[in-house]
Each structure stands twice: as structure tokens, then as C-alpha cells.
Amino acid sequence: MDSLLSGLSVSVPESGVLDPVSLIPNKKEYWLEIGFGGGEHLAHQGGLHKDAGIIGCEPYIHGIAALLKHIDDNKLDNIRIYQQDARLLLDALLPQSISRAFILYPDPWPKARHHKRRLVSKPTLDALARVMKKGAELRLASDDEDYCTWMLEQLQAHDAFTWTAKSCNDWLNPWGDWLSTRYEQKALAAGRVPTYLIFRRSA
């Protein structure tokens, strides 16, 4: 697995500017998943969308090892891995280079004094707005009701993103190519109800 990781690992170049094309050439578009957990969803997307190059961000080695197994088992060649804080990658990515981004079940940091640590925040959204193409999708999911409210408040207050929902079905049901992960299955078994959000990068 170490040899596989060495070929897939992403680092920010000395120039401080990273073009996804240099990582995964000859792809139609480039996607980003921030915090891929066990990698099930990321590998699923990579297998379904071979014409997309996908960068996954995850600092925890157990999640990285799980994703590497998915990549190896399914012979996926369109996924790369960034092992540090995703915000460092967002700062380096070429402007308007990402066509889709995923933030799925991020840590809700439920205590009020920890809210400043929440990933979905104005600084992160500013960085995403810079790297996402006009019309690009930002897909989010959470099983924490308070955090879902927080995400909606943060995104609807940001002028770079527009909520695509037309009815309650749009946030109660996942998108068509969704894969329910082990984490989500545990949440459902515990009686928690996931919310699925799609925001579009405004023109």
C-alpha cells in the first residue's frame, strides 16, 4: 500500500499553485472531496465517473488505508490523495479548476465554544468559491440537525452559492449517484435523519 500511496499522494508545489490537470491528465473535469472518511463514497464516484479526476483530502491514516484498498480492488486511476489540512490545498488550487466538491458528514463540533472549528464556515466557503468553476456543484450531507442549520445559514449568507432545492424531497433524498457509507448506516440505525444539500457556484 505504501508504494500505491506514493504514486497517488498530492503535495503543493514550490510555486504554491496547483493545477489538477498536472495530477490527473486528460480528464473532462476535476472534483474534490474534503474529509473522505473510509473512502467508500470517493471510490464509488471514481468508479462511476471515469472521465473525472478526483482529489480526496483526509489526514487520518486509517481512512487513507481504506481508500487505497478500494482503489486497488477496483483498479481506479482517477483518484489522488491529499493527506494534510484541506484548506492548504484550497489555497493552492488553480482558480476555477474544480467542477464539483463534496463535504460529507463533517465533524459538527457541537459545543458552542468549538463552532469556530467547523469546516463549513465563511473562510472555507471563500476558498471554495475561488477554486470552483461557475455553475459547479457543492454537495453536502450531515446527520446532525444543528449542523445542517448551520450549513444552510453559512451558505445562504454567501453570495457565491445558490441553493438548488425546489422541494423538501431535494434535501431529504440523496443525489442519484449517492453511495450510503458505513457511517451513514450507523446514523440511520441510531434514528438520525440525514440531510442532503446541493449548492451551485453562482455566475
Q: Is the pLDDT of residue 1 over 90?
A: no
- Other beta carbons within 10 angstroms of residue 142's beta carbon come to 24
Task: Print burial letters for 75-105: b (CB count within 10 Å at least 16), e (below 16).
Answer: ebebbbbbbeebeebbebbeeebbbbbbbbb
Residue 66 cell numbers, joined:
481504506
Look up the pTM and report it: 0.95
pLDDT single digits (tens) 18-52: 999 999 999 999 999 999 999 999 999 999 999 99
Listed in sequence order, the residues at least 6 apart from 158 whose beta carbon sits closer than 8 Å to its beta carbon are: 122, 125, 126, 129
In the prediction, which pLDDT does 3 show?
A: 79
pLDDT single digits (tens) 116-126: 999 999 999 99
User: Looking at the annotation, which residues are catalytic?
Assistant: 107
CA distance 65 to 22: 24
Counting Cα atoms < 13 Å in the Cβ hemisphere of 52 gives 20
State which fold the 2-201 domain adopts: Rossmann fold (3.40.50)
Domain boundaries of the chain, sorted by first residue = 2-201
Closest C-alpha among 13, 59, 29, 48 to residue 132: 29
pLDDT single digits (tens) 161-188: 999 999 999 999 999 999 999 999 999 9
139 DSSP β-pair partners: 102, 198
Strands 98-104 and 79-82: unpaired
User: Please, what is the average pLDDT of the chain?
Assistant: 95
